[in-house]
Amino acid sequence: LLACFNVTNLLLARAVERERDMGIRAALGAGPGRLMRLVLTEGFVIAALSGVLALVLAWWTQSLVRTFAMPIEQPQHLDLTPDLTVVGFIVVLAVIAGVLPGIWPARAAARVDVLRVLAAQGGNSASGRPSPMRQWLVGAQIAGSTAFLAIAALFIQSLDRIVDLNMGFDRNHLVIAEFEPASSGYSAEASARYVGALLERIRALPGVSDAAVINRAPFFIGFEHLTAVWPNGGTCVANACPHVATLAAGPGYFRTMGIEMMAGREFTSAEPTTGVVINQPFAKQQWPDGRGLGESLRIGERGEAVTVVGITGTHRTRGLDRERPTIYVPLGQRHFAGGLTLVARTAGEPAGVIRPFIEAAQAVDTRVPMESVKTMSQRLGVVMWPFRTLSRIFSICGILALILATVGLAGAVTHAVSRRQREFGVRLSIGATPRDLMTGVLRDSARLLVPGLVIGILLAASGARLIQATFVGVNVLNPLTYLVVALVECTIVVLACIGPALRASRIDPLVALRSE
C-alpha Rg value of the chain to the nearest Å: 34
Residue 177 pairs in a beta bridge with 342, 373
How many angstroms separate the CA atoms of 55 and 62, rounded?
Answer: 11
Per-residue model confidence as pLDDT tens digits over 148-204: 889 888 888 888 888 777 888 888 899 999 999 988 888 988 999 999 999 999 999
pLDDT of amino acid 124: 45
Letter string b/e over residues 217-231, b meaning 16 or more CB atoms within 10 A of that residue's CB: bbbbeeeebebbbbe
Of 297, 296, 205, 193, whose CA–CA distance to 244 is shortest? 297
For residues 173 and 316, the answer to whether their CB atoms sit within 8 Å is: no
| Percentage of the chain lying above the pLDDT 70 cut | 91
Q: What is the DSSP string of 291-352?
A: --TT-EEEETTTTEEEEEEEEEPP--SS-SS----EEEEE--GGGGGS-EEEEEEESS-GGG
Of 141, 161, 138, 147, whose CA–CA distance to 481 is shortest? 147
Confidence of residue 438 (pLDDT cuts 50, 70, 90): confident
Per-residue model confidence as pLDDT tens digits over 18-30: 777 777 887 888 8
Per-residue model confidence as pLDDT tens digits over 372-424: 888 988 888 888 888 888 888 888 888 888 888 888 878 777 877 777 777 77
Of 448, 443, 425, 449, whose CA–CA distance to 505 is shortest? 425
Residue 347: phi, psi to the nearest 5? Answer: -85, -30
Helix or strand run (H / E) with residue 502: helix 479-505
Residue 113: phi, psi to the nearest 5? Answer: -90, 105
pLDDT of amino acid 123: 45
Q: What is the DSSP string of 410-471?
A: HHHHHHHHHHTHHHHHHHHHTT--HHHHHHHHHHHHHHHHHHHHHHHHHHHHHHHHHTGGG-
Confidence of residue 209 (pLDDT cuts 50, 70, 90): very high
Q: Which residue has the higher pLDDT, 98 or 213?
A: 213
Q: Calculate the average pLDDT of the chain.
A: 83
Q: What is the mean pLDDT of residues 480-491?
A: 89
- What global pTM score does this model have? 0.70
Q: What is the mean pLDDT of residues 235-261?
A: 86
How many angstroms separate the CA atoms of 197 and 187, rounded?
Answer: 15
Q: Is 229 helix (H, G, I), strand (E, B) or coil?
A: strand
The one-character DSSP state at 165 is -
Q: CA torsion sign, 174 to 177 to 178 to 183?
A: negative
Range with the poorest average pLDDT among 19-28, 357-366, 490-499 = 19-28
pLDDT of amino acid 125: 44
pLDDT of amino acid 120: 58
Other CB atoms within a 10 A radius of the CB of residue 483 amount to 11
- Residue 106 buriedness (CB in 10 A; 0-12 / 13-18 / 19+): buried
Q: What is the mean pLDDT of residues 336-347?
A: 91
Per-residue model confidence as pLDDT tens digits over 67-126: 777 776 666 666 777 788 888 888 888 888 777 777 777 777 777 666 766 665 544 444
Q: What is the mean pLDDT of residues 329-352?
A: 90
How many angstroms separate the CA atoms of 451 and 458, rounded?
Answer: 11
pLDDT of amino acid 129: 58
Question: Going by C-beta distance under 8 Å and a sequence separation of 6 or more, which residues neighbour residue 366?
Answer: none
Q: Is 373 helix (H, G, I), strand (E, B) or coil?
A: strand
For residues 194 and 188, the answer to whether their CB atoms sit within 8 Å is: no
Confidence of residue 130 (pLDDT cuts 50, 70, 90): low
Q: Identify which of 161-175, 270-284, 344-358 has the greatest average pLDDT.
A: 344-358
Identity at 351, one-letter amino acid code:
A
256 Cα distance to chain centroid: 34
How many angstroms separate the CA atoms of 405 and 186, rounded?
Answer: 64
